[in-house]
Amino acid sequence: MSDTQEIARGLEGVVFTESKLTYIDGERGILAHLGIPIQEWAEHSSFEELSCALLNGHLPSQAELDSFDQSLKSLRNLPQPVLEAISGYPKTCHPMQALRTAISHLGVLDPDADDVSPAGRRAIGLKLIAQMSTAIAAIYRSRQNAAPLPPREDLSHAGNFLYMIRGSAPTPEETRLFDMALILQVDHSMNASTFTAIATASTLSDMYSAVTSAIGSLKGPLHGGANEAVMDMLDEIGSVENAAAYITAKLDRHEKIMGVGHRVYKYFDPRSRVLRDYAEVVAKKQGKSRYYQILEVIEKIVVERLGSRGIYPNVDFYSGVVYSDLGIPKPFFTPIFALARISGWVASVDEYTEHNRLLRPTARYVGLNDQHYRPIEQR
């Protein structure tokens, strides 16, 4: 590397591969998978269908979707040693630590873990999409001092997850809402965790390692976790009456508002619009929840004061409230992100490794030169 070559801090703007999966236009607030806008996926599709489409590169036929769905259902069970290990994890550790460990444990127990052929990777990827749900639910139940529930084959991916954490089947409306929330998080082009999964797989390491490293990456608060911070903020604000003064004071102090701003979107994140539209439908039926009313006040002030600088609500602005409405507690928001994003990780690893090249960037050396080793007693 020459001394004059510019350093791309944070790899911003560095293009290292091509992808057919996800298109984003941050200026216009567009997100599309396989060319289809996220709003249409959210309205008409399911987590299973979007996952199948991304893995196969096209909208599936009914037969393809049925077969994909059946495979996921048949792969949901976790091996007993993993269930036992989960119940032994300290209840104080973050659920993302527990999830990272459980997924790695699944690899230890799989005799085919090191199969990095396209078919082998795909088979493990499918297994992990199915088992991620059961693992998160088991981690959740262990914190309630409750035994894990075996998955139910008669329920969809979204419905079965809600069943496994609650112990009773969700209503069709709850299932639909959760399914939509998953759809919104399935893939988002070259984000940090997807890049991490690809970097691991590019060494020809196995799919368990790729997903385990991606979970570690997602765990960081600069990636997953912002919706937890939004809920903390809403709890701190407390009432609709306090909202305007709280946000105005924060902006006057040049402090960041959680759930607002995005590295890519310089207009409304389209996923935040889908969630807001949903919240409005609920509000019409049941009246506006306190959280929703506070968010409305914040959104108005943020758009007025920061919109001209391209700072608008992002997906995390509303997603925490949706998860809370479904009875999912804050520490499980990031695991829910993983539950959705695993399909994006698997599809991206598949796509990249088809024409694999080891990811190995360069750092400019700025240390000392021409030094000599000195024995320790002479230092």
Ligand X SMILES: CC(C)(COP(=O)(O)OP(=O)(O)OC[C@H]1O[C@@H](n2cnc3c(N)ncnc32)[C@H](O)[C@@H]1OP(=O)(O)O)[C@@H](O)C(=O)NCCC(=O)NCCS
Let me know if 262 is a catalytic residue.
Answer: yes
Instruction: Verify binding: residue 313, ligand X, rule CB under 6 A.
Output: no
Q: Would you give the DSSP letter of residue 160?
A: H
Where do the DSSP E strands lie in the chain? 22-25, 30-33, 36-37
Among 29, 95, 224, 261, binds ligand X (CB under 6 A): 261
Let me know if 316 is a catalytic residue.
Answer: yes
d(CA 363, CA 373): 24
d(CA 276, CA 237): 20
In order, the DSSP letters of 172-239 are HHHHHHHHHHHHHHS--SS-HHHHHHHHHHTTT--HHHHHHHHHHHHHSTTTS-HHHHHHHHHHHH-S
Q: In 3-state terms, what secondary structure has residue 247?
A: helix
Pick the catalytic residue: 187, 316, 325, 350?
A: 316
Residue 57 or residue 310: which is nearer to ligand X going by CB? 310
Among 164, 243, 260, 338, binds ligand X (CB under 6 A): 260
Among 135, 311, 322, 328, binds ligand X (CB under 6 A): 311
Which of 152, 118, 117 lies closest to 134, judged by CA?
A: 152
Instruction: Verify binding: residue 299, ligand X, rule CB under 6 A.
Output: no
Residue 163 or residue 337: which is nearer to ligand X going by CB? 337
Which of 55, 351, 47, 346 lies closest to 208, judged by CA?
A: 346
Among 28, 58, 263, 290, binds ligand X (CB under 6 A): 263
Among 21, 55, 258, 274, binds ligand X (CB under 6 A): 258
Let me know if 179 is a catalytic residue.
Answer: no
Joined together, the tokens standing for residue 150 give: 């075996």
182-241: which residues touch ligand X (CB under 6 A)?
226
Q: In 3-state terms, what secondary structure has residue 260?
A: strand
Q: Would you give the DSSP letter of residue 32?
A: E
Instruction: Verify binding: residue 271, ligand X, rule CB under 6 A.
Output: no
* Choices 55-63, 73-81, 253-261, 365-373; region in contact with ligand X by CB under 6 A: 253-261
Report the nearest approach of ligand X to the CB of residue 64 (Å).
Answer: 32
Among 257, 297, 328, 339, binds ligand X (CB under 6 A): 257
Instruction: Verify binding: residue 314, ligand X, rule CB under 6 A.
Output: yes
Binding site for ligand X (CB under 6 A): 226, 256-263, 306, 311, 314-316
Known catalytic residues are: 223, 262, 316
